[in-house]
Amino acid sequence: MAKYFDVHPENPQRRTISNVADSIRSGALVAYPTDSCYALGCQLGSRDGIGRIRSIRNLDDRHHFTLVCQNFAQLGQFVHIDNDVFRAIKAATPGRYTFILPATKEVPRQLLHPKKKTVGV
């Protein structure tokens, strides 16, 4: 069953955000706008959610999934990044970019490229 949540961009209601978060935690997929199109998302590590996204978008196991980070500090949690690359990313953003980088052990295996062990951020 589809639900629509209208979230105010400058003053979001806490109750609405809580409802969305609860839905995602219970296995729902979310469609959210990006700079270039709508994206599908699920809870990090949800096998069912990842499988549903692969099925809906007809993706194979070599597709690079993208992790949406809360801030630049969170990049280090999910990808190995040296100072030069970090500075280049910081200079290029915000923008319509996905950076493919080597993943850390924090990233669930089903999100990784099977041979390269990389993920998008």
Could you tell me which residues come within 8 angstroms of residue 51 by beta carbon, excluding any fewer than 6 positions away?
A: none
Mean pLDDT of 14-33: 90
The tens digit of pLDDT for each residue in 73-110 reads 888 889 998 899 888 888 888 878 888 999 999 888 88
Q: What is the mean pLDDT of the chain?
A: 87
Q: What percent of the chain has pLDDT over 90?
A: 20
Task: Answer yes or no: are the C-beta atoms of 36 and 12 closer than 8 Å.
Answer: no
In contact, 16 and 7? CB cutoff 8 Å: yes
Please report the pLDDT score of residue 55 as a whole number.
92
| Residue 57 in tokens | 């978008």
- Name, in order, each residue with C-beta under 8 angstroms of 103's C-beta and a sequence gap of 6 or more: 78, 79, 80, 111, 112, 117, 118, 119
- Spatial distance between the Cα atoms of 41 and 49, rounded to a whole number of angstroms: 8
* CA–CA dist 66, 20 (Å, integer): 20
Q: Give the CA count within 13 Å in the CB-facing half-sphere of 16.
A: 10
Quote the pLDDT of residue 111: 84
